[in-house]
């Protein structure tokens, strides 16, 4: 089945720095890769996603890149702000076709002022 590995588990940066979170997946059939942000005590919310036919996608300060050959994808946050502090989860479609997602274990991002 699908297995999603996410690194690092924690990441501390200074305000204004960039942050990068990396994920690898095992099922070459996976074709959809969303990223969710979960603030403390709140529900996970989708922040950006990418399909397997696209190599990169940007939305203001966040971007996601995908390398299908290597089966890894990354989240990039530029000009980090304290409100970016949260747990970030990557996910990949499968292993039950397109009907489910397999999530990574999460990265706690701490942005210090």
Partner 1 sequence: DGGITQSPKYLFRKEGQNVTLSCEQNLNHDAMYWYRQDPGQGLRLIYYSQIVNDFQKGDIAEGYSVSREKKESFPLTVTSAQKNPTAFYLCASSHRTSGELVKNIQYFGAGTRLSVL
Q: Which spans of this chain sit near partner 1 (rule: CB under 8 A)? A: 6, 9, 31-32, 34, 42-46, 49, 51, 89, 93, 96-106
Is the Cα dihedral 74, 110, 101, 105 positive or negative?
A: positive
CB atoms < 10 A from the CB of 83, how many? 8
Q: Hunting for tokens 């994920």 — which residue is that? A: 23
User: Nearer to partner 1 by C-beta: 28 or 45?
Assistant: 45
Q: Least separation, in Å, of the C-beta of 15 and partner 1? A: 26
User: Nearer to partner 1 by C-beta: 18 or 58?
Assistant: 58
User: Nearer to partner 1 by C-beta: 61 or 105?
Assistant: 105
How far, in Å, CA of 25 to CA of 46, rounded?
19
């Amino acid at each position: 089945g699908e297995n999603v590995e996410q690194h690092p588990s924690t990441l501390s940066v200074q305000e204004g720095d960039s942050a990068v979170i990396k994920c690898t997946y095992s099922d070459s059939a996976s074709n959809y890769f969303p990223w969710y942000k979960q603030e403390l005590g709140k529900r996970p919310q989708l922040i950006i996603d990418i399909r397997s036919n696209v190599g990169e996608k940007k939305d203001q300060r966040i971007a996601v890149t995908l390398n299908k050959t290597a089966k890894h994808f990354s989240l990039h946050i530029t000009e980090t702000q304290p409100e970016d502090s949260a747990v970030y989860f990557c996910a990949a479609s499968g292993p039950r076709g397109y009907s489910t997602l397999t999530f990574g274990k999460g990265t706690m991002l701490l942005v210090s002022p």
